[in-house]
Structures are given as C-alpha cells and as structure tokens.
Amino acid sequence: MKLIQTVTIKQVLTETTKKQLETEYDTERQQLLKEIDQLHFEMKKLEKTKKYQVGSLRNQFEKEIQKRAEKEKLLDFQIQQLHMLPLGSEIKSDEVQALLEIKEGDRWDSFQEKKYIIIKDGIVDEIR
C-alpha cells in the first residue's frame, strides 16, 4: 500500500544561501513598492475621470495598498531575522508530498515521524 506524507524541506544557512535569500527578499520588496506606486498612480488617474464614486474607489485602492505595505513590512522583518541568524542554522523553506510504500510487518511509528530533507547550497545534504 502507498501513503502520501508531507515532508518538510529545510535549507542550511550558508553565505551563498544567505545572499540568495537576501536577494530574493529584496527583489520581492522592490516589486511590492512598484505595485504600491502603480496603485497610487491608477487611483489618481481614475479619480480624475470622475466616472466612479471617489470614496468607494479610494477605499478599494487603499485596501490593496495596505495589503502590499503589510507584505513589505513582513519582508523587512524577514531580512532583519536573516541577518541575525548564525551560519549553519536550518530554515524551513518548503513542504512537499512524498509517496511512501508500506507493507505488512513495517513499524508504524517510523511512518508517523516527521520527515525532513536538508538542503545545503542547492544540494540534498541529508534525509531524516
């Protein structure tokens, strides 16, 4: 019989990984800032056309801007935390589904344990 089990992917923090994560976070942050600027521009543009109610239009845009601002704050926090972590720390990066084969006579306890795949600089380093 085959079972599907969730496996956690963890990355070992190295200089390379740290720089890569920092770049990813910064790129995502820059994208959010561009989206916020674009939303402000679109809001002003639509307010000038006077085809829509200004109050409801502004509320919708402010909600979207606020969502992106919250994501940006979260990214800033993640960048700060990344700088504080020592090299060699394990960071949860993903979860995947794995197909496991189970047969009569297998120990059930071993299937209930949480499984981990440890990645170091893009290479599978360990499977726990």
Q: What beta strand segments (E) does 13-63 contain?
A: none
β pairing state of 90-101 and 123-127: unpaired
Q: What is the pLDDT along the chain (128 residues), one digit of tens a residue?
A: 888 999 999 999 999 999 999 999 999 999 999 999 999 999 888 888 877 777 888 899 999 999 999 999 999 999 999 999 999 999 998 999 999 888 888 888 878 888 899 999 889 998 88
**Beta partners for residue 6, in sequence order:** 97
Instruction: Find the domain containing 80 and state its range.
Output: 2-127
Tally of CA atoms within 13 A in the half-sphere of 64 that contains its CB: 18
- The number of distinct structural domains making up the chain is 1
Task: Give per-residue pLDDT as tens, 61-88.
Answer: 999 999 999 999 999 999 999 999 999 9
The single-letter DSSP state of residue 90 is: E
**Beta partners for residue 121, in sequence order:** none
